[in-house]
Amino acid sequence: MARDPAVAGLAVYRVGGAVRDARLGWPVTDTDWVVVGATPEALRRRGFKPVGRDFPVFLHPETHEEYALARTERKAGHGYTGFVVHASPEVTLEEDLARRDLTINAMAESPEGVLVDPYGGLADLEARVLRHVSPAFVEDPLRVLRTARFLARYAGLGFTIAEETRGLMRELVASGELGHLVPERVWAETERALAEPWPEVYFQALHDCGALAVLMPALAADGEALDEALGRLHRLPEEGEGEALACWRWARLVEHLEDADRRELAERLRQPKAFLALARQVARTRELVAAARLAPLDGARILAWLDGIDAWRRGERVAPLISLVSLEAPELAEALAVAWRLAAQVLPAALVAEGFKGRELGEELARRRREAIDAALG
């Protein structure tokens, strides 16, 4: 860093997640910097590109890492955007760190590796505690979700939320501030939490402080059903990461709900359409497994399931759902795999060649597929 001409002579510090995760031995994916004692004009002259709309953030001309001018924030409205930002050369590093949510995120490191830790972040890191920096925690309702998401990332390392911080989370919920969060931000935090190693603790932490009842009431309505749903989040048909992993986990989380509740949650959170689509497929598969436990399945019931998941146009959906069935009912999964293989061999083109068309084509196609499934079932 000392030989980097873009920052030569500037007081720059590595901050946030990079400092935290390096000391945890956790993979560091992004590095952010804070610049103390500088102006926007000074950074522009050095080739930095401004990208911040609400506060001065710049991209390094070579590394494209983010450099933010040290700033303070003052509450002036509702929600996570209701702040007046003040950035000037007079703002100190300690003042900048004071506006952060948790002590483990309020550490900085000089280019020479000297730790700046005015709020005890390292001690909390070693004690495995998520603790607020100051009472100003309650000024930003998004911090309720962020704290729960960090718990979803680090719970397996022994992290817990400090009891005083849990109290502030409950206070934030009681204040009604969560109602000022836009759906997109709630979903962004939730989707990220779903892809973390321990997503169940995200929803449990939100439930414990009352936030889940405000943000996702259909999930919070039945505590026993929620406990069962959280237990399913690691029982998935395939490995994945990012959005694909989040999508499967969400589907498992809401598979027990009524379809109207799943749809309401999707609209409330403004989810991508793929999340509701997969959730419905998983719910139909859950219903199939439940029916098989009551009585042997016939071709008509399995055909209805294949129709319901749009298997004939989207054949790639079938194998993962059969793998999901195998987690609960291996023998049923084997039967479904054979039934699908035989039914998929009944093609419309062959029936058209025989002279079928229109409504008769659809009826004959269904009949022959049903017969193929019945043959597979023996």
Sequence-distant (≥ 6) Cβ neighbours of residue 312 within 8 angstroms: 306, 344
Q: With bands split at pLDDT 50, 70 and 90, how would you rate the model's confidence at 55?
A: confident
Amino acid (1-letter code) at residue 342: L
Residues 259, 166: Cα–Cα separation, whole Å: 33
pLDDT at site 80: 56
Q: What is the pLDDT of residues 245-287, one digit of tens each?
A: 999 999 999 999 999 999 999 999 999 999 999 999 999 999 9
Looking at residue 75, its pLDDT comes to 65
Residue 84 has a pLDDT of 72
Average confidence score pLDDT of the chain: 94
Alpha carbon 335 to chain centroid, angstroms: 34
Fold of 1-127: Beta Polymerase; domain 2 (3.30.460)
Per-residue pLDDT tens for 293-336? Answer: 999 999 999 999 999 999 999 999 999 999 999 999 999 999 99
- For β-strands 11-15 and 83-87, DSSP reports them as unpaired
- At residue 177, the pLDDT reads 94
> What is the model's pLDDT at position 1?
44
CB contact at 8 A, 287 and 318: no
Average pLDDT over residues 86-94: 91
The domain spans of the chain are: 1-127, 128-295, 296-377
Across the range 38-51, mean pLDDT stands at 93
**pLDDT exceeds 90 at position 169:** yes
Say what the pLDDT of residue 239 is.
77
Res 41: pLDDT: 92
Q: What is the pLDDT at residue 368?
A: 97
CA distances from residue 208 to 83, 163, 201, 203, 226 in whole angstroms, order as listed: 27, 12, 10, 9, 12
- Kindly report the number of other CB atoms within 10 A of residue 76's CB atom: 11
Q: Which pLDDT belongs to residue 212?
A: 99
Domain 1-127 identical in fold to domain 128-295: no
What mean pLDDT is predicted for residues 47-57? 86
Stronger pLDDT, 77 or 53, i.e. the higher one: 53
Identify which of 111, 150, 78 has the alpha carbon closest to the alpha carbon of residue 12: 111
Output the pLDDT for position 77.
59
83 to 2, 293, 303: CA distances (angstroms)? 34, 56, 56
Q: Does the structure show a pLDDT above 90 at 50?
A: yes
What pLDDT sits at residue 30? 85
For residue 277, the model assigns a pLDDT of 98
The residues that bridge with 75 in the sheet, in sequence order, are 83
Helix axes 223-231, 200-209, angle to 10 degrees: 160
- Residue 5 or residue 324, greater confidence: 324
Q: Tell me, what's the pLDDT at 2?
A: 47
Quick one: which of 241, 242, 329 has its CA closest to 285?
A: 329
pLDDT of 10 reads 92
Residue 81 pLDDT class (50, 70, 90 cuts): low
CATH class given for the domain over 128-295:
mainly alpha
- What pLDDT does 79 receive? 52
Look at residue 154 and tell me whether its pLDDT is greater than 80. yes
